[in-house]
Structure 1
């Protein structure tokens, strides 16, 4: 887990921004806030945070049909950061935090480049864990939203590769852990679900990644997604 994470909060409700800022844990530093598309792009470009927590529906400039203010922030801010960094790929990652649980909203911001999507019903502790996970390179989704992403980015019906040989490399417990991790569960949530310790979960995840020759939770999600295992 990253020890210290710099975050920008983008939401058009100042009360929500204040409440979220107060609920985040002490390892997360809020280095900027914004309330609409234009201010978000400016603040993110200036602060170059580790993570941007942003709402999906934001006021401001007109956005292309079929997209959202949040998706537009991701596209414009990423382009602006690349320009400011002489073309280098920015390290800033985007995590959507919204009241919406509509498939089109979830898929829209993920296509734009968000590394995760969680709902505003999440606790401060849940959001903090998600921020750290995204800062560390993982993809994070509220469990009930993961299916939207899997449906949108999965392999076409009839072209799904058989995973039986690869799954045979994993023990039954490793397969259980793999599915939960791939769905976006945090280690502590997996431990609670399976009644095992967090340390045991970490051991199983390491074994799964090694056996499947993967390097991160993000790759594991893509692997499981392509094989329709979730």
Structure 2
């Protein structure tokens, strides 16, 4: 039997969270809930769910709402995926949370079946958007932006690219060495080269760089 998709639901309205849990189908299981930015970041790190259903506007934190939650969980973006679920359909809200690293954005007007299908798509690595919202993403991340990212990645060798992705996902140097069957010293050399070529100064900046470009 297939394991259910683990979900953390983040919304500051308890009634909505209850209704959403009731609407999700049997392919998924809610393992935790949160109502604020801080609660969300804590719950997501504790449970490392497959998907986070995330409202865009949340109390707490520095006022960044859902985008701040995604940024606060940047170390988990290799395994946990974020699906924004909001009453807002403004281009600014859509672009901000996608730029932070979310894999999709649907409005709260969709049905429980549609949300469930979106969760399954996002859990499988695909993107999911309410139809008219996809245009905002295409406008914000158009061909010019893609070309700029490609130019930056072309500076890296194949091995440096592998190391970069693992470091950006939160792997330690020792874990990267084990994963790629190379020495820790070699990992350090590759990381130094990546930081130099991308004009970054730290692992934190590297993670932020990768999240911004959605290449984890």
Normalising by the smaller structure, the TM-score range is 0.5 to 0.7
Contact residue 12 and residue 35 of structure 2 kept, 8 A: yes
Per-residue deviation at 1:27? 1.3
Q: CA RMSD in A?
A: 1.7
Per-residue deviation at 1:156? 4.1
1:47 corresponds to 2:47: yes
1:4 corresponds to 2:4: yes
Q: Given the alignment, which residue of 70, 73, 80 partners 1:74?
A: 70
Per-residue deviation at 1:51? 0.1
Partner of 2:129: 141
Partner of 2:163: none
Contact residue 61 and residue 68 of structure 2 kept, 8 A: no
CA shift digits 1:36-90 (9 cap, x unpaired): 0000000000000000000000000223xxxx310000010223x4xxxxxxx63
User: Could you state the TM-score of these two structures normalised by the residue count of structure 1?
Assistant: 0.60
Q: Which runs of 5+ in 1 are unaligned?
A: 82-88, 160-230
Contact residue 82 and residue 103 of structure 2 kept, 8 A: yes
What CA distance in whole angstroms lies between the structure 2 residues aligned with 1:156 and 1:38? Answer: 35
Per-residue deviation at 1:155? 2.1
Partner of 1:117: 105
What CA distance in whole angstroms lies between the structure 2 residues aligned with 1:50 and 1:154? Answer: 28
Please show how residues 28-177 of structure 1 align to structure 2 within 5 Å: 28-63=28-63, 68-79=64-75, 81=76, 90-156=78-144
Runs of 4+ in 1 over 6 A off after TM superposition: none
What CA distance in whole angstroms lies between the structure 1 residues aligned with 2:78 and 2:139? Answer: 28
Q: Which runs of 5+ in 2 are unaligned?
A: 148-216
Per-residue deviation at 1:151? 0.4
Q: 1:156 to 1:77 in 2, by over 3 A?
A: closer
User: Could you state the TM-score of these two structures normalised by the residue count of structure 2?
Assistant: 0.64
Does the residue aligned with 1:114 lie in a helix, a strand or coil? coil
Count, aligned residues:
145
Partner of 2:14: 14
CA shift digits 1:13-47 (9 cap, x unpaired): 00000000000001110000000000000000000
CA shift digits 1:91-143 (9 cap, x unpaired): 00000000000000000000000000000001000000000000000001100
Please show how residues 170-189 of structure 1 align to structure 2 within 5 Å: none
